[in-house]
Amino acid sequence: MSEDMNNIEVETFTEGEKVKGTVTKIEEKQVLVDIENSKLNGIIPISELSSLHVEKASDVVSEGDELDLIVTKVEEDLLVLSKRKVDAENAWETLEKRFENNEVFEAEVNEVVKGGLVVDLGVRGFVPASLVEDYYVEDFSGYQGKTLSFKIVELEKDKNRLILSHRAVIEEEKEKEKKDLLEKLEVGQTMKGTVQRITDFGAFVDIGGVDGLVHISQLAHHHVEKPSDVVSEGDEVEVKVLSVDQDNERISLSIKETLPGPWTDIAEKAPRGAILEGTVKRLVSFGAFVEVFPGVEGLVHISQISHRHIGTPHEVLQEGQTVKVKVLDTNEQEQRMSLSMKELEEDHSQQEYEAPEETKGFQLSDMIGDKLKDFNKE
């Protein structure tokens, strides 16, 4: 009688049918369950508990848990069941909606495997290494058990393929921050930034999620040959916003305009009478321009180059030459400085017109007196 009843029970179940069961016992490689409204026993093989690899069944379920299950095999007095298939079926519906809506959601990293991360979403989701961060990660071991935000970038239910990206979320957030910053930026405001990249024509500075260009001409008050001469990657700098092009997302910045001008306090840096060393930058018909500080050039008038008469500065100077000069006068407002080389040069003019050796010791009156005597004799 009981055996006939069991046969009748078995015949009422088919493969693929959904049932409810309660966990009664957890063994090493399987879980035993009572089937609702049935005297039949059911087992869930450990491989059918989750879409992920399971070491211990107790990691997934506990005694007394009520589970939604699918019949995978019907035996004489036993049902083989799957929790994994029910989870996957329910998950695909949710995942398809998330994919269509480009939704961002959070999930825990369940495994770190070769080539990326694995996330259990009822379906095994894979995060390739290149889609974890927007920078290179050498060791992913620290991601085990970590909760991250994801977007679905590939979904193929028939191939059981689900590819997730955390990088896409980061890039989307950065793009939003960038747009917000571009809208708030105002020409003339100053802020701090970090030098990200150096090129031949300038330096790109991160000012909070967006990079702006400091052209080589805006790096310093003095002429800069190479940007790397004045800034390095990673330097924290203060910059001033020169222009903002929101459509093309271009920002022009200046470091130069945040620095004191080279002529600021020039009277203190180069007081009258100070002796400085400088470089001849330009030679003109009326003198030479000598750079004594970066961005500060003073004029040595042709009359102040030498004690001896010269027709042109080119006779005694050449561009690039290092010379010593004396400060005659400075004007910060007009950015002018008068310099002299002559005042540091020994004056040999007296020696050039000195009386011959044989006349030394005679007074002019003596010579005139002799002439007068000769005149009176006549």
* pLDDT tens, residue order, the chain (378 aa): 344 444 444 457 888 889 998 999 999 889 999 988 888 889 999 988 887 788 888 888 889 999 989 999 988 788 999 998 888 888 898 999 999 999 999 999 999 999 999 998 988 999 999 999 999 999 999 999 999 999 999 999 989 899 999 999 999 998 888 888 888 899 999 999 999 999 999 999 999 888 999 999 999 988 889 999 999 999 999 999 999 988 888 999 999 999 888 888 889 989 999 999 999 999 999 999 999 998 899 999 999 999 989 999 999 999 999 999 999 999 988 999 999 999 998 755 444 444 444 444 444 444 444 544 444 444
| Distance separating alpha carbons of residues 214 and 197, to the nearest angstrom | 11
Q: What span, in angstroms and rounded, lies between the C-alpha atoms of 371 and 373?
A: 5
243: β partners = 252
Two tokens, residue 209 = 């999620």
The Cα diameter of the chain in Å comes to 182
Instruction: Catalogue all structural domains in the chain, each as residue range(s) with its CATH number.
Output: 2-82 (2.40.50.140), 91-170 (2.40.50.140), 185-258 (2.40.50.140), 266-344 (2.40.50.140)
